[in-house]
Structure 1
Amino acid sequence: MAEESDDMNRRGFLQYAGATGAAVTSFALAGCSGGEEDLEDDEDGSDGEDGSDGSDGEDGSDGEDGSDGSDGSDGEDGEDGEDGSDEPFEITMTQRQDPTTLDPHDHRETTTDNVILHAYEGILWRGPDGGIIESLATEWEQLAPDRHKFTIREGVEFHDGTELSPSDCAFSVRRVVDPEVGDLESPQRDQLAGIVDAEVVEDENAIIVHSDGVNPLVFQEIASYCSVVSEEWINNTASEDIATSMNGTGPYQLTNYTEGESAVFERYDNYWGEMPDATQVEIIAASEDSTRVGQLESGETDIVSAVPPADAGRIEGSEDLYIANKGSTRILFLPMRYDVEPFSSVEFRQAMNYAIDLDQIISEILSGFGQPTAQPTLPSFFGHNPDLDPYPYDPEQAEQLVEESGHAGAEIQIEYPAGRYLLNDEIVQAAAGFIDDLENVTCEAVSRDFGTLAGELLDGDITTQPPFYNIGWGNTTFDASQTMLPWLTEGTSQTHYVSEEMEQLMSDQASEADADTREQLLQDANQLAHEDAVWVFLNQEFLVYGINERIEWEPRPDEFFLAQGMERSE
């Protein structure tokens, strides 16, 4: 079955949500050898489909609608929300995990961004449809293939009252890409791939971002990553305080943070853009699905992420609650370390893909809320290869490939971050069960704390990674390279696979200025990833939210869960 990527409307959701929880659970655990179950808890339509710079035109004109960098609206008068009401509008939001830090440059998790991006903003931003729009920059243009200029907005202040300057923007880029800047070796360095420096333009309110060669992704990367920090504040604040406090330019100012419990924000009165409706926002976390849903139904929280499909019908049937959903930019997969037996064998890796009935997992566990994947790149992304189909379920072929690999009798385990993704516990347990059903392989699923597992994946040392594990990856640049570079090339923090052919393809695409040629290189890289079975390809994750009727909100495909996009219902 060819890959698809479609959002599901409410009616379709309820049709799928009719599956009973008992059926889901019994299937998920069938044939699974076991593993700990402690349920403790990481990381889009494109405007640049042709690989272009993503701006509105070659003259560097500004974003599509003059919008600000936080909610896609364009006001600059600092007035109250759209309804003009001065009445308090307080929102409590529950996601799956607490932030691992409040330092915007020292993490790789969307759940952390969901807290940080209430207070911090980027130089550019993406609108709800994924298109690049203005934020702290009002114009952007390519000066040369390796030099890109950004005109910085005037009249913006940080929450400590100091004024934003181009120097702060240049410093923020440099803090991510240069370990010598800001006393930080940022794990986000490869998210700004090719960018090596940034400087202030003399006598202009602008900066120039420098790359190490042709760089077709500068605007996409800057729109997706690199929050802007105050150079003075960073340089005069201890690292432990940067990790537990915030000083951004965003619409919300942090007023209270209790690590592992909650983050509380209030609207910042001197915000440069349009004031959001919500006057106060509290963000909490609950890793267990039942806890989040219970909080929503009891009124303890107003909006929750990752609603299990089995609970969706009940929530939708409630008088004061509703369900919203969207196909995300995240894929779930099972990486296998190429340097460890039995996963050093391509035959064995292919066998793991043939062993798993992905269609059954999607239909019975996810109640249809997911799409099977065949490659690292989703269909809406630049570089997707339309000629690749998911591995079919073929346990006999899997057993034959295991024999050919020379690893018959292998005993393996899949380590997974409990509660991190939509039903990923059940997905991984089912996958382990399918593999364990093979006559010549034994497999079990073992739950892990997400923070601990993420630390092992981000430390740059492949030897600390589990041989076989589950993770999800969201790519908000809508470009294939930003999934394959960090996972499938040598020397990056998450590398688990290295091949000369992949290295050459990714090197060539990074320096290719012609969009068509670059697209073909990325498609070839996707084909290689599929044929080499670099991981067990699972599903595109769907975003499913439960929302109180007093809030109007449309989910974003990039998974950002931000109050500045939420409005008071009329």
Structure 2
Amino acid sequence: MIGGGIILNSTSLHNMDRSDQIKIAEKPEDLRGTPLERREFMSMLKAGGALALGSSLAGCAGGGGGSDSDVPEELVIARPSDADLLDPHQTTDANASRVMSLLYDGMILMDGDRNFQEMLGKGFEVSDDGTEWTIEFNVDSGITFHNGDEFTIDDVVFTFERFLEKSLIRSWAVGSMQGVEKVDDRRVKFTFEEPYAFFDSHAAMNSYFAILPENLGGKSDEEFAQEPIGSGPYELEEWVKGERITLARNDDWKTPTYDVVESDDPPVPEKIVWQVIPEATPRVQGLLSGEVDALMGVPPRKRENINSSEEATLHSNTGGSIYYVPMHNELEPTSDVAVRKAIAHAIDKERIVSDIYNNAGRINYSPMPASYPSWAGETVREEVGYEYDLDRAREFLSEAGWEESGGDYREKDGETLELSMITPNAPPATLQSSEEIAAMLGEVGINVNLTTTQPNTAYSEMAKGETHLMYASLSWFTADVMQFMLSSALAGASNLQFLKDDQVDQYLDEAARTLDNEERADIYEQMQLRVMELCATVPLMTLAEETAVRSEFTGYDYLNGAASSIWLDMRLEDD
């Protein structure tokens, strides 16, 4: 959750027989939430949606919800890397999530104001004690999966039984869920050991919480991860590993969608191609030349190229990420809080945000993303903030017994102050930031041995517990991700700080079972203060979520706080 190509045409899935096999090709050798109280939160809700987009210069055709002149035949979206798997229970990859949100439908939707809307589910009823959630589903609306099977309540039960057994996020993303049972042909009941405040918000994430066909439509786990079957607005046509994923419009799609989608018959684009272009310059050049239609994740140093061009528009929104430097709280010498405080004071966050990210981020003093309603970064800054201050950093090192030696680095009992640091080697801003941080720590006498490696490898290595520091990032859309980041139970896994603090755990657990939004925010404020009193990690910034789109397209609508990105409504501007 732990991101220039040649676009080839493929036979449209709409012209294939349902029994035809989707093409999965290996890469060729020569090519590279929660505003409502949970009591009775929905009954019969209106349809609604998240990120609406679509388009391509490849050509226009009829179909979808537009006229023949404005319906894009193909929308090409460039990004730096490919998905790993397309089974929502076997991946936490952000690139996979963006594709899965088009392949699958979820239980509900969450709009830009964090209000909930109908999708496969029609609404919740929550018991007075908050431990039972009963959901009614749209089982009589003619909704079908891509293989033609009708959507039934048994698909919901199967999905969540499998989720509880296999999902990589099951340990924290469904609270204390005990089980799921079929009430009747329209309703399912979820039971929890104790109330869980985030179930509705997570249920609105139609990637990781997607509804799957019972028994995976006859596929094995391995087959399904490569050849998924959903009920979403698009279905998989072709996957050339490491190069592109081509999705074809599901003309049988009948699931309710977001209010902001203006088309009478979405989705609009006939195909969506997720094109892998690893290098930043070719990605931006492809957008400005019209070879691609949109960029996900605009390279910070290329923002001005797009802003100054008439060929594309840059859309920037507050992101749900936290970029941070986890410090191993149990490995000497970062096990000493004075050393951790010295590191925090030695890092110039403003220089990183302005010089490397071109001001595309917001400096953060809390471990929680700055876009969350429960964020208390300003309070944390006032009470325990670690401002850039080299003198204070040196004082803390001296307090910890690390003294100047006459050389470049401090010493203690004849031992040089050395820290190991690992960092992902992509994207470029990550590597640049890590090198800058190593240099900053060198200014106060800390010798940092920096190792770079593939992103997934970097996180795995940090989790082994043999490295002091890492440059890390985490992105989610609800505050419950703090469990993932800080819970003692996940130390040595997603808790890269190896933080083990009973008080932090108590705050996390209490917040997760508190249904009142204001009360929960108060608890999270105390949690944030406690983490930073311990100086368990160094928050750096919340990076903006930026998308660039060709100027001839209309229909883009980013919904802040929505659980997924859906490209449904984009079309070419009328001449």
The reply on whether 1:387 has 2:379 as its aligned counterpart is yes
Q: Report the CA distance between 1:488 and its aligned residue.
A: 1.0
State the Cα deviation string for residues 267-320 of structure 1 (Å, max 9, x = none).
Answer: 011111442111111102233322321222333211112223432233233332
Counterpart among 223, 229, 240 of residue 212 in structure 2: 229
Cα gap change, 1:99/1:367 in structure 2, threshold over 3 Å: closer, same or farther? Answer: same
The reply on whether 1:138 has 2:122 as its aligned counterpart is yes
Is the 2:110–2:201 contact (alpha carbons within 8 Å) kept by the matching residues of 1?
A: no
Aligned to 1:414: 421
Distance 2:190 2:247 in 1: 32
Cα gap change, 1:260/1:194 in structure 2, threshold over 3 Å: closer, same or farther? Answer: same
Question: Any gaps of 5 or more consecutive residues in structure 2?
Answer: 1-32, 54-61, 256-264, 403-409, 411-415
The reply on whether 1:148 has 2:133 as its aligned counterpart is yes
Aligned to 2:531: 529
CA RMSD of aligned residues (A): 2.7
State the Cα deviation string for residues 422-454 of structure 1 (Å, max 9, x = none).
Answer: 822222222222112212x11244322123234
The reply on whether 1:252 has 2:247 as its aligned counterpart is no
The reply on whether 1:106 has 2:90 as its aligned counterpart is yes
Distance 2:338 2:559 in 1: 38
Distance 2:458 2:560 in 1: 25
Is the 1:192–1:222 contact (alpha carbons within 8 Å) kept by the matching residues of 2?
A: no
Larger radius of gyration, structure 1 or 2?
Answer: 2
Aligned to 2:293: 302
Q: Per the alignment, in what secondary structure is the counterpart of residue 387 of structure 1?
A: helix
Distance 1:318 1:208 in 2: 53
The reply on whether 1:92 has 2:76 as its aligned counterpart is yes
Counterpart among 145, 154, 164 of residue 158 in structure 1: 145
Aligned to 2:395: 400
Is the 2:329–2:499 contact (alpha carbons within 8 Å) kept by the matching residues of 1?
A: yes
Counterpart among 548, 551, 568 of residue 564 in structure 1: 568
Q: Per the alignment, in what secondary structure is the counterpart of residue 176 of structure 1?
A: helix
Q: Report the CA distance between 1:341 and its aligned residue.
A: 1.6
Q: Report the CA distance between 1:83 and its aligned residue.
A: 4.5
The reply on whether 1:195 has 2:190 as its aligned counterpart is no
Letter of the structure 1 residue corresponding to residue 367 of structure 2: P
Q: Report the CA distance between 1:490 and its aligned residue.
A: 2.0
Distance 2:516 2:169 in 1: 30
The reply on whether 1:175 has 2:159 as its aligned counterpart is no
Distance 2:177 2:352 in 1: 40
State the Cα deviation string for residues 7-37 of structure 1 (Å, max 9, x = none).
Answer: xxxxxxxxxxxxxxxxxxxxxxxxxxxxxxx
Q: Report the CA distance between 1:465 and its aligned residue.
A: 7.0
Aligned to 1:75: none
Q: Report the CA distance between 1:244 and its aligned residue.
A: 0.9
Distance 1:358 1:59 in 2: 41
Is the 1:332–1:540 contact (alpha carbons within 8 Å) kept by the matching residues of 2?
A: yes
Q: Per the alignment, in what secondary structure is the counterpart of residue 544 of structure 2?
A: strand
The reply on whether 1:378 has 2:369 as its aligned counterpart is yes
Aligned to 1:218: 199
Is the 1:198–1:209 contact (alpha carbons within 8 Å) kept by the matching residues of 2?
A: yes
How many residues are aligned here? 499
Is the 1:80–1:86 contact (alpha carbons within 8 Å) kept by the matching residues of 2?
A: no
Aligned to 1:463: 464
Cα gap change, 1:207/1:281 in structure 2, threshold over 3 Å: closer, same or farther? Answer: same
Counterpart among 271, 275, 279 of residue 266 in structure 2: 275
Cα gap change, 1:266/1:69 in structure 2, threshold over 3 Å: closer, same or farther? Answer: same
Letter of the structure 1 residue corresponding to residue 194 of structure 2: G
Distance 2:51 2:298 in 1: 25
Alignment of 1:232-381 (within 5 A): 232-233=215-216, 236-273=218-255, 274-381=265-372
Percent of aligned positions that are identical: 20
Q: Report the CA distance between 1:560 and its aligned residue.
A: 4.5
Is the 1:70–1:125 contact (alpha carbons within 8 Å) kept by the matching residues of 2?
A: no
The reply on whether 1:494 has 2:479 as its aligned counterpart is no
Cα gap change, 1:294/1:514 in structure 2, threshold over 3 Å: closer, same or farther? Answer: closer
Distance 1:541 1:295 in 2: 24
- In the superposition, the TM-score normalised over structure 2's length comes to 0.80
Counterpart among 538, 542, 545 of residue 543 in structure 1: 545
Aligned to 2:506: 504
Is the 2:98–2:564 contact (alpha carbons within 8 Å) kept by the matching residues of 1?
A: yes
Distance 1:116 1:355 in 2: 41
Is the 1:66–1:134 contact (alpha carbons within 8 Å) kept by the matching residues of 2?
A: yes
State the Cα deviation string for residues 361-413 of structure 1 (Å, max 9, x = none).
Answer: 22222222211111122344243224121421011111221232345532123
Aligned to 1:30: none
Distance 1:210 1:465 in 2: 40
Q: Per the alignment, in what secondary structure is the counterpart of residue 315 of structure 2?
A: strand
- In the superposition, the TM-score normalised over structure 1's length comes to 0.81
Aligned to 1:28: none
Cα gap change, 1:525/1:169 in structure 2, threshold over 3 Å: closer, same or farther? Answer: same
Is the 2:34–2:198 contact (alpha carbons within 8 Å) kept by the matching residues of 1?
A: no
Letter of the structure 1 residue corresponding to residue 296 of structure 2: S
The reply on whether 1:554 has 2:557 as its aligned counterpart is yes
Distance 2:155 2:171 in 1: 18
Distance 1:185 1:47 in 2: 23
Is the 1:288–1:419 contact (alpha carbons within 8 Å) kept by the matching residues of 2?
A: no
Is the 1:267–1:275 contact (alpha carbons within 8 Å) kept by the matching residues of 2?
A: no
Distance 2:50 2:345 in 1: 44
State the Cα deviation string for residues 220-278 of structure 1 (Å, max 9, x = none).
Answer: 221234111112226x3222212211100100010101221211011011111442111
Cα gap change, 1:465/1:254 in structure 2, threshold over 3 Å: closer, same or farther? Answer: farther
Alignment of 1:113-132 (within 5 A): 113-132=97-116
Q: Per the alignment, in what secondary structure is the counterpart of residue 135 of structure 2?
A: strand
